[in-house]
Amino acid sequence: LLCYKKSVCVYDVTYYFAHKFLKIGDRTIDQMVQAARSGKQNIVEGCSASTTSAETEIKLLNVAKASLKELLEDYKDYLRVRNLELWADGSDKHEQARRVCATHNESEYYRNAIEERSDETIANIAIILIKQTDYLIKKYFEFIKQDFLENGGIKEEMTRERLKWRSEHKNS
């Protein structure tokens, strides 16, 4: 899934950022890395659960979204308390970074690109990646919902199969 690929980018950028720009012993390091990890891992767990439970899949994807929202706030806090610029939607910097982030979904690209960037730039890139990941999860929710409405879940599938079997073996 594209939302998973983006979440890996978010994790890798966050891991680098937290260990490069936060002071050793700062609890925010662990909190940011764990929020990024939770976002990524819950997408994996949710998709794994999809074969048996759309409800579990949706719950885990909601956990992923919540973790990423928490991480988003950490980045915004970082910029605010250090009087660094949060790139406004529509600004030249934001739009340029948004376009680049929209076309790169491989974490290696970011791991290489961020080494030469400032904390302000990396934080803003992370914010954009988080927002893009959140959007992709939202679109995935819509897909899951539509699929459930059209096809039902595992219970409905099992009922259909059971009724089909009964019909085929009625006179046996």
Asked whether the predicted pLDDT for residue 172 surpasses 80, the reply is no
102/133 Cα distance (integer angstroms): 10
What global pTM score does this model have? 0.86
**3-state class (DSSP) for residue 142:** helix
Determine what percent of the chain is predicted with pLDDT higher than 70. 94
pLDDT band at 168 (very low <50, low <70, confident <90, very high): confident
Structure tokens at 164: 């089909």
Asked whether the predicted pLDDT for residue 88 surpasses 90, the reply is yes
List pLDDT tens digits, range 7-59.
999 999 999 999 999 999 889 999 999 999 999 999 998 888 766 677 788 88
State the pLDDT at residue 98.
97
Rg of the chain over all Cα atoms, to the nearest angstrom: 20
Which DSSP string do the residues of 44-65 spell out, in sequence order?
HHHHHHTTT-HHHHHHHHHHHH
113/49 Cα distance (integer angstroms): 34
124/121 Cα distance (integer angstroms): 5
